[in-house]
Copies of this chain bind each other. A is one copy, B any other.
Amino acid sequence: MAELAGADQKAALDAAQAAATKQGDTVRSLKALQKDNKADKAEVDAAIAKLKELKASAQAKQEAYADVAGKAAGQSKEAFRAAMAETLQRRMFYVPSFKIYGAVAGFYDYGPPGCAVKQNLTALWRKHFVLEENMLEVECPSVTPEVVLKASGHVERFTDFMVTDVVTHDCHRADHLLEAALEARLADTKAPPSVEDHEALRNELATVEELDAAALGAALRRHGVKAPDTGNDISEPFPFNLMFRTSIGPKGDQVGYLRPETAQGIFVNFKDLLYYNGGRLPFAAAQIGQSYRNEIAPRAGLLRVREFTQAEIEHFCNPADKSHPKFASIAAVEPLLFSRELQMGAEKLPKPMSLGEAVDKGIIANQTLAYFIGRTYLFMVAAGVTPSRLRFRQHLVHEMAHYAEDCWDAEVECSYGWIECAGLADRSAYDLRAHSAKSGQDLTAYEKFPEMRTVDVMVVTPNKQLVGKTFKRDARAVQDALEALGEEDAACLQDQLKSGPAKLTAAEGQVFEVTPAMVDVSRVQRKLAGRNFTPSVIEPSFGVGRIIYCLLEHCYYTREGDEKRAVFGLVPLIAPIKASVFPLVNNPQLADAARALSAALTVGGLANVVDTTAVSIGRRYARTDELGVPFGLTVDRQTLDDGTVTLRERDSTSQVRVGSAEAPALLQRLTNMSLTWMEVQATFPAQQTADAAE
């Protein structure tokens, strides 16, 4: 495999993107100041002009880099993936779980570097979302009683369609088998499909996910699909629930499941969280934790696993007001948006668009959803996702649940295609309503009107005597059901009663017939100081493992001229180890100095290793490049004379000479990315790069 992407292009791209990001911050600050009349228009315009220039430059460099990376990847995605996977497993980023027992599909262990990357990524997420937005973070158990997941709909609907081999009883995902059959037919070179068939097959392939059991079964029969490997007949497709089931307590009578998502833990705590927040809306709660899906056929490494880490946010707001106080801070952010319109259009390509424009044009449903799209974009880019390989794809109308107002997936391109790494959905009041109905608990918030409002309300007054006489011991249930009617249901009942008796459903599901004499329903005017309402939920939900996998693909490259020298160009914030310390020769004094430097780095909270193995410095560099270590500190004879060490940056391989004592503070700033390598190069004397010797 030839050089996958030039380190030079990568370094130039990083620098250009950093400069553009910085200028973007400047523009945003100036705009904020301008609002308060603390900056004038000329100043803002000049800053915007400069931003445009920097963006164009970054875009050009992006294309140059993507070209190199793409060409190599294009040559053979499989070879690229295999080479990277070999490095990942050998250096123990992650390995199949329970390997000594033959492994179990869909489970992975994070080894030391992978675990550190994951820690760093979730720490960044926590800072970017929880800390900066003052979110309420919670931690709830994975084991969940059935009632919660009945309310959420998971017990009934969290399923994939499965078929079994009628002879071996092996299980397969029905959609996967159909997709494979369609792809094979499309790729058939011996008897290629006609132009019309080709078009029809492509359309069928694009809509496999939307088929129900009967349609899926019909399609499988139509294409004569058999069980893979055996060629046996397959069963009709049937739904298989993806939740791991268990039993809580010693009696064995309480069904529990491992949670399929972390979100439900937040919803069931809504009332306490609202109280914690002083009863005020909007607020957001967040949770990072494990979720579980008993996949029928796990595949694609970290992308589809049975146990994974989610980071979810539930932002609760007034359905009548989905503006966001900090929207201005991201209005100028320009991610690639792949709206419904663009997906249905001729080009089928996403386009960059500012989030301000997207909201103004009604492309994104509201400010709050757009705000989180912007924050998600900034998070992903800060973590090291290549901006041109990140797009926000809007769900088509038929993809969305009936209650959803708008949904966008953050999709990242990797060798497996465009992968959903985060989902951002306006779920309206669905979740809270479902739990309120199931638990019988009031899950509303109260809104005080700025001034008293006169409103029409429906008042339902049962004729208690008649109800009692008619329904006897069910009278209480009927009366409760009448009094619990919402505005719409009451209006509906009023309507029905005009033409005679009407049906009424009580809490336990019994249906009663009520007559006009039994109840008075009338619309009256009331003066109200406020109202109770069920908040809307805007949910950004992240798959941590998927982001990690895509990150690793985006930053993996081999050194120009040496395809065996793999590098993970992880940004310093995410890199598992921040610095390697190399004593250059086998001299006890240098080893002591290296150990002291390492100890100083540790005190500064910087993960580091001392590499004292007796191999060339080039081989030692190569070894830490594979772990994505961004900085190397070399302790040599000169260190003993003047206390300086060599500081090497991984991607450029350029080196400067810095004082050993100032190295920890310098590395802290490089690691938290408040200092760039360019700035370091401008400050410290360059050291002759011994690249040939490497």
A residues 568-592 with Cβ under 8 Å of B?
A: none
Contact B99 A115 (CB under 8 A): no
Contact B111 A269 (CB under 8 A): yes
Contact A171 B307 (CB under 8 A): no
Q: Is A138 an interface residue (CB 8 A)?
A: yes
Q: Which of A127-135, A351-359, A380-388, A464-472 lies on the face that meets chain B? A: A127-135
CB of A629 to closest CB in B, whole Å: 14
Contacts of A142 in B (CB 8 A): 142, 258, 290, 307
Contact A439 B100 (CB under 8 A): yes
Contact B248 A294 (CB under 8 A): yes
A100 to B272, CA, bound (A): 10
A275 to B91, CA, bound (A): 9
Q: Which of A131, A275, A278 has most chain B Cβ within 10 Å?
A: A131
Q: Is A498 an interface residue (CB 8 A)?
A: no
A70 to B522, CA, bound (A): 65
A265-299 vs B, CB cutoff 8 Å, 1 = contact: the mask equals 10011011101101000000000001010101000
A439 to B98, CA, bound (A): 10
Contact A249 B294 (CB under 8 A): yes
Contacts of A147 in B (CB 8 A): 98, 101
Contact with A136, one of B112, B132, B273 (Cβ below 8 angstroms): B112
Contacts of A443 in B (CB 8 A): 100
Q: Is A607 an interface residue (CB 8 A)?
A: yes
A131 to B109, CA, bound (A): 20
Contact A109 B134 (CB under 8 A): no
Q: Is A104 an interface residue (CB 8 A)?
A: yes
A234-273 vs B, CB cutoff 8 Å, 1 = contact: the mask equals 0000001000111111110010101000000100110111
A345 to B380, CA, bound (A): 62
Q: Is A162 an interface residue (CB 8 A)?
A: yes
CB of A113 to closest CB in B, whole Å: 9
A142-165 vs B, CB cutoff 8 Å, 1 = contact: the mask equals 111101100000000000001000
Nearest-CB residue, chain B, relative to A599: B132
Contacts of A271 in B (CB 8 A): 100
Contacts of A145 in B (CB 8 A): 98, 101, 104
Q: Is A602 an interface residue (CB 8 A)?
A: yes
Q: Quick one: given A112-B136, A250-B162, A605-B127, are A95 and B272 in contact (CB under 8 Å)?
A: yes
Q: Is A441 an interface residue (CB 8 A)?
A: yes
Contact with A98, one of B268, B307, B613 (Cβ below 8 angstroms): B268
Q: Is A650 an interface residue (CB 8 A)?
A: no
Contact A272 B92 (CB under 8 A): yes
Q: What does DSSP make chain A's interface, helix, strand, loop or mixed?
A: mixed
Contact B138 A99 (CB under 8 A): no
Q: Is A141 an interface residue (CB 8 A)?
A: yes
Q: Is A677 an interface residue (CB 8 A)?
A: no
Nearest-CB residue, chain B, relative to A147: B101
A88-132 vs B, CB cutoff 8 Å, 1 = contact: the mask equals 000110010111110011011111101110110000001100011
Q: Is A169 an interface residue (CB 8 A)?
A: yes
Q: Is A594 an interface residue (CB 8 A)?
A: no
Contact B99 A112 (CB under 8 A): no
Contact B141 A249 (CB under 8 A): no
Q: Is A139 an interface residue (CB 8 A)?
A: yes
CB of A195 to closest CB in B, whole Å: 39
Contacts of A256 in B (CB 8 A): 104, 244
Contacts of A85 in B (CB 8 A): none
Contact with A101, one of B148, B246, B251 (Cβ below 8 angstroms): B148
Nearest-CB residue, chain B, relative to A143: B307
Contact with A250, one of B91, B115, B118, B296 (Cβ below 8 angstroms): B296
Q: Is A302 an interface residue (CB 8 A)?
A: no
A residues 407-439 with Cβ under 8 Å of B?
A: 435, 438-439
Contact A245 B248 (CB under 8 A): no
Contacts of A290 in B (CB 8 A): 142, 290
Contacts of A108 in B (CB 8 A): 141
A107 to B256, CA, bound (A): 12
Contact A141 B97 (CB under 8 A): yes
CB of A338 to closest CB in B, whole Å: 33
Contact B109 A139 (CB under 8 A): yes
Q: Quick one: given A98-B268, A109-B269, A110-B138, are A607 and B131 in contact (CB under 8 Å)?
A: yes
A269 to B136, CA, bound (A): 36
A564 to B98, CA, bound (A): 53
Q: Is A61 an interface residue (CB 8 A)?
A: no
Q: Is A179 an interface residue (CB 8 A)?
A: no
Q: Quick one: given A143-B307, A272-B95, are A265 and B109 in contact (CB under 8 Å)?
A: yes
Cβ-closest 7 pairs across A and B = A171-B250, A110-B139, A100-B439, A141-B307, A112-B136, A100-B441, A109-B140
Additional pairs, 8, CB under 8 Å, beyond known A95-B272, A104-B256, A171-B250: A92-B276, A98-B145, A107-B141, A109-B140, A111-B269, A111-B273, A240-B250, A246-B258
9 contacts between A and B (CB under 8 A): A92-B272, A92-B275, A92-B276, A109-B139, A110-B138, A111-B136, A132-B602, A170-B251, A244-B247
